[in-house]
Amino acid sequence: MMSKINYGETPEFQKDFRKLLKKFKSLEEDLELVKIAAIELFHIQKINNLSIFPIQGFYTEKIQVCKIKKFACKALKGRGSKSGIRVIYAYHIAISKVEFIEIYFKGDKENENQERIKEYLKNY
Q: What is the pLDDT of residues 41-53, one digit of tens each?
A: 999 899 998 999 9
User: What pLDDT does 80 receive?
Assistant: 67
DSSP 112: -
16-42 residues labelled b (16+ CB within 10 A) or e (exposed): bbeebeeebeebeebbeebbebbbbbb
| Helices assigned H by DSSP within the chain | 11-23, 27-34, 41-43, 114-122
May I ask the CATH class of domain 6-122? alpha beta
pLDDT (0 to 100) of residue 67? 95
pLDDT at 2: 58
Cα 86 to Cα 90: distance, rounded to the nearest angstrom: 14
Q: Cβ of 117: how many Cβ atoms within 10 Å?
A: 18
Segments in the chain below pLDDT 70: 1-3, 80
